[in-house]
Amino acid sequence: MRKGIYVLPSLLTLMSMFLGFYSIVRSFNSDYELASWSILAAAIFDVLDGWVARLTHTATRFGIEIDSLSDVISFGVAPGFLIYTWTLQSFGKIGWLGSFFLVACAALRLARFNVQMGSTEKKHFTGLPTPAAALAIATTVVAYEEIIQILEQIGLIGMANVIRLDYWVLVLTFLLAGLMVSNITYHSLKEANLSQRRPFGILVAIAAFLAIVAYHPSLVLFLVAISYVASGLIEALYHLLKKPREVSA
């Protein structure tokens, strides 16, 4: 029975890896929407394998290594290939360099995470987690047309035209890559303890959030992903501005 339990987290990890590879295949065939949703699905399995390993006390060194290899494919190579085939190839050399930079930083981020494992606070990440960077790219792709449509409907034609130029996608790619290898702190969502008692209102809030996601999945998930990316930057800026005040006090 215990051997079967040990296999379960690895199977979930392999499912995440499969979805990452499938995303690459769909990007190669110009099916960018399905490629994006495959990355989103891979992220779900990535969270599940960690939770299962912790809840069943079956975390092993093998599981950690296979999880990192899976993450390189699903949250490094897959989003890098997606963003290149979707938009960045039109920028020529700087486009594929941006895609490679994203993949390289994802690999470096994961290597650093493995080296630092156990030496840092579990509730925080040093640098933007690779799944978060991948989700920011995937949700950008699926929400792109909807964002432009909304901007045009509210009269922001100029902003919609700027977004169509796609230069911001190139900037976003380099930004996400840089954040992954930065020292900016991000809160960990994997360490949420589902076995603890929570206020009833939290369950209602989760149900309401799921209803909103079901109504506008691409746009809501895009806003959530970008908000998480921005949260680390905002918190870092807050602490940066707070330091001079503490010194002067």
Both tokens of residue 30? 């110009």
pLDDT at 135: 96
Phi and psi at residue 185, in whole multiples of 5°? Answer: -85, 135
The answer to whether 141 touches 33, Cβ cutoff 8 Å, is yes
Q: Please tell me the predicted confidence (pLDDT) of residue 196.
A: 60
Provide the pLDDT for residue 207: 76
Give the pTM.
0.85
Averages of pLDDT over each 10 residues, the chain, 249 residues: 61 93 96 96 89 74 83 95 94 93 95 73 80 95 86 78 82 95 82 59 71 77 91 85 63
CATH tag for 2-248 (out of 2.60.120.10, 1.20.120.1760, 3.60.110.10, 3.40.50.2300): 1.20.120.1760
Query: Where along the chain do its domains lie?
Result: 2-248
CA dist 72 and 139 (Å) reads 19
* pLDDT, position 193: 57
pLDDT of residue 244: 64
pLDDT of residue 4: 47
Q: Which of 186, 80, 68 is nearest to 126 (CA)?
A: 186
How far is residue 47's CA from residue 35's CA, in Å, rounded to a whole number?
Answer: 19
**Beta-bridge mates of residue 125:** 186
Q: What are phi and psi of 199, to 5 degrees?
A: -60, 145
Single-letter code of the amino acid located at 68: S
Residues 6+ apart with CB under 8 A from 150: 219
| DSSP per-residue letters across the chain | -HHHHHHHHHHHHHHHHHHHHHHHHHHHTT-HHHHHHHHHHHHHHHHHHHHHHHHTT---HHHHHHHHHHHHIIIIIHHHHHHHHHTGGGGTHHHHHHHHHHHHHHHHHHHHHHHHTTTS-TTEEES--HHHHHHHHHHHHHHHHHHHHHHHHTT-HHHHHHHHT-HHHHHHHHHHHHHHTS--EEE-STT--TTS---HHHHHHHHHHHHHHHHSHHHHHHHHHHHHHHHHHHHHHHHHHHHHHHHH-
Report the relative pairing of strands 185-187 and 124-126 from DSSP bridges. Answer: antiparallel
**Residue whose C-alpha is closest to residue 52's, from 9, 3, 4:** 9
Beta-carbon contacts of residue 166 (< 8 Å; ≥ 6 apart): 87, 90
